[in-house]
Chains A and B, each alone.
Chain A
Amino acid sequence: MAEALEDGPRGPKPKRTFSRRNIILYGTLIVIALYYLLPLYVMVVTSLKGMPEIRLGNVFAPPLEVTFQPWVKAWAEACTGLNCDGLSRGFWNSVRILIPSVVISIVIASINSYALANWKFKGSEIFFTILIFGAFIPYQVMIYPIVIILRELGLYTKLGGLVMVHTIFGMPILTLLFRNYFTSVPEELFKAARVDGAGFWGIYFRIMLPMSLPIFVVAIILQVTGIWNDFLFGVIYTKPDNYPMTVQLNNIVNSVQGIKEYNVNMAATILTGLVPLVIYFVSGKLFVRGIAAGAVKG
């Protein structure tokens, strides 16, 4: 029973793919995207060139002769001070710092947030407020007294000390993240479990933990990136043998002695950035969720 259509416009409004609006919009986006990609490109091409080629050309020219020598040198031979075993030392130091820091900070923060969200006690909100305000205090105000505390505990310049510092300074954001998540769990569920006789730990392990795996992933992404990228705490609370990768990288690239080997420097820079970059590209939306959770107030 289709009625006869009349003349004139019918169906979708004709849209030109190359309308002025689209050209401006996509053009701008592409130019900006190129600008954002440029440094990554420069890093990669520089790291694949030999030094003579670098001296002749410019940073944007693609390599005429691809060489992986700078990568090998950056990983295994580059010198910082007396050590000449390359960035690999810093890499393994960072791994040794990263794993316990991530695990301990997340375990402590998640249990703490669970207590804050579901087992409120007198004063718990006050401590939480202090904790959140603490996130805004410049670290510089607290770093020296922490040196004294760590020295008293015998942890100064030890990896253990740095792990403790990461746990402390990761606590505000992680607690906020977990607390907001746990608060959103329906209270009826929690009450039902209590009626069924489950206690503090029973509810945590059997109900909260299995329900909150996504938020744990977000927390892990947040912490791995944050701790891997840390420089300030690494340089203050460790000694040269234990320097994390970022500190060692800076020492290699910005060392005053010798000629600058830009290709090695760039290879070292990529190597240091690789861990968070891989996490970023693999985790995709979860990363965005992590930083948004980190940034947006509860």
Chain B
Amino acid sequence: MSSVSVKSLDLNFGDVKVLRNLNIEIEKGEFLVLLGSSGCGKSTLLNCIAGLLDVSDGQIFISGKNVTWLEPKDRDIGMVFQSYALYPQMTVEGNLSFGLKNQKMPAAEIQQRIKQASEILHIEPLLKRKPAQLSGGQRQRVAIGRALVRDVEVFLFDEPLSNLDAKLRAELRVEIKRLHQKLEDNTMIYVTHDQIEAMTLADRIAIMRDGAVLQLADPNTIYNKPANKYVAGFIGSPSINFMDGDLQAGGKKFVSNGVEIDLKRYEFASGPREGSACLGVRPEHINLGKATDKGLFEAQLTIDVVEPMGSDTLVWSKLGDQDFRFRVDGQTKLKTGDQQVVHFDPERVSIFDQDSELRI
């Protein structure tokens, strides 16, 4: 039985279709990340699951119960917001206990839950403070605590780290991952536009665009076998190199600007074919030096710009007349104008149809 299941969900704001026929099944204990750029509908979907937005059509189930018409408080969920949304005039303790008191829970049990949650989140010393006296990271811990004390099955995170600076974000990201490992029975749905958060935290990632899910898969598949061109371009930094060209010889080779790539090793998703296509190769998958193996593709490039970043160096070059980026170790000495031989393995590329942009 799924922990959360979304069936044929539609949401319209007037004439604008914000979510289109979404179907998602989330297992108990799973960490699902909804990833996409702003306006793709990821937060809207989360709000629908929370019950903060009324859906236009379809159903939502949580722990097997149809919650489509239920109020948020009755859905067995807890939610963490980007702006923390702590009640500013209450202490941390007050924030944690407010909802419970409102349910008329006995004081002893409230105390017990607060104690437990604050231990998990290391916020015991902060209990008597007001939100204004806390740092951003501490505030977000308290906000997570407010969801934790509710003792619910599903946690919803709406861009919880976006208001924090880079260092805190990395710290809290690990904290959330640790929390998920500890609470292995709790399902988590996490909305973000940050692909690093998505890749590091998720069991599965749903990449959304224009109110639809483009690909729902584990991070490894998303990165290595993107289902379409948008996903390939969205994931990965620096982003993937695209080459426009043609599949020839029954799908045995890819030809672009006089460059010929042998596709014997490529695993076609739907069988080899011919016709115009787009080939994507990740900058990380390109290696310096001559091909050591006949199956590999080798090319000579002219180096355009070198961007050293310490741990590694990003190199901009031209392959034919197309931009071609690749990543090398930070110690490698390269300079503008150099000629350089590189190679990559056609097994690791992705090929997309030019019209449908789907993976071939």
B-binding residues in A (CB < 8 A): 1-3, 5-6, 8-14
Nearest CB on A from B358, distance (A): 15
* A5–B59 CB distance below 8 A: yes
Cβ of B47 within 8 Å of any chain A Cβ, yes or no, is no
Q: State the CA gap A14–B68 with chains docked (Å).
A: 11
Q: State the CA gap A5–B60 with chains docked (Å).
A: 10
Nearest CB on A from B23, distance (A): 5
Cβ of B54 within 8 Å of any chain A Cβ, yes or no, is yes
The interface size bin for chain B is: 10 to 19
Which residues on the A side are within 8 Å of B57 (C-beta)? 10-12
Closest to B56 in A: A12
Cβ of B58 within 8 Å of any chain A Cβ, yes or no, is yes
**Interface hub of A1, A3, A6 (most chain B Cβ within 10 A):** A3
A9 CB contact (under 8 Å) in B21, B23, B59: B59
A-B residue pairs, 3 tightest by C-beta = A9-B68, A9-B69, A8-B66
Which residues on the A side are within 8 Å of B61 (C-beta)? 6
| 19 examples of A-B residue contacts, CB within 8 angstroms | A1-B23, A2-B21, A3-B7, A3-B8, A5-B7, A5-B59, A6-B59, A6-B61, A8-B59, A8-B68, A9-B59, A9-B66, A9-B68, A10-B57, A10-B68, A11-B68, A12-B55, A12-B57, A13-B69
Q: State the CA gap A234–B21 with chains docked (Å).
A: 68
Q: A1-B23, A2-B8, A3-B8 are in contact. Are A13 and B54 (CB under 8 A)?
A: yes
Q: Other than the known A6-B59, A9-B59, what 18 A-B pairs have Cβ atoms closer than 8 Å? A: A1-B23, A2-B8, A2-B21, A2-B23, A3-B7, A3-B8, A5-B7, A6-B7, A8-B66, A10-B59, A10-B68, A11-B58, A11-B68, A12-B54, A12-B56, A13-B68, A13-B69, A14-B69
Closest to A11 in B: B57
Closest to A4 in B: B7
Task: List residues of B (274-288) whose CB comes within 8 Å of A's CBs.
Answer: none
* B7–A11 CB distance below 8 A: no
Give the secondary structure class of B's interface. Answer: strand
Nearest CB on B from A17, distance (A): 15
Closest to A2 in B: B8
Which residues on the B side are within 8 Å of A3 (C-beta)? 7-8, 23
Q: State the CA gap A8–B62 with chains docked (Å).
A: 14
Interface string of B41-61 (1 = CB under 8 A from A): 000000000000011111101
Which residues on the A side are within 8 Å of B55 (C-beta)? 11-12
Nearest CB on B from A195, distance (A): 31
Which residues on the A side are within 8 Å of B59 (C-beta)? 5-6, 8-10
Q: State the CA gap A5–B58 with chains docked (Å).
A: 7
Q: State the CA gap A10–B7 with chains docked (Å).
A: 9
Q: State the CA gap A171–B330 with chains docked (Å).
A: 64
Q: State the CA gap A8–B61 with chains docked (Å).
A: 11
Q: State the CA gap A3–B59 with chains docked (Å).
A: 11
Which residues on the A side are within 8 Å of B8 (C-beta)? 2-3, 5
Nearest CB on A from B26, distance (A): 14
Q: State the CA gap A85–B359 with chains docked (Å).
A: 87
Which residues on the B side are within 8 Å of A14 (C-beta)? 69
Nearest CB on B from A250, distance (A): 48
Q: State the CA gap A1–B59 with chains docked (Å).
A: 15
Q: State the CA gap A11–B57 with chains docked (Å).
A: 4
Q: State the CA gap A189–B320 with chains docked (Å).
A: 43
Closest to A7 in B: B66
Q: State the CA gap A14–B56 with chains docked (Å).
A: 11
Which residues on the B side are within 8 Å of A9 (C-beta)? 59, 66, 68-69
Q: State the CA gap A282–B23 with chains docked (Å).
A: 49
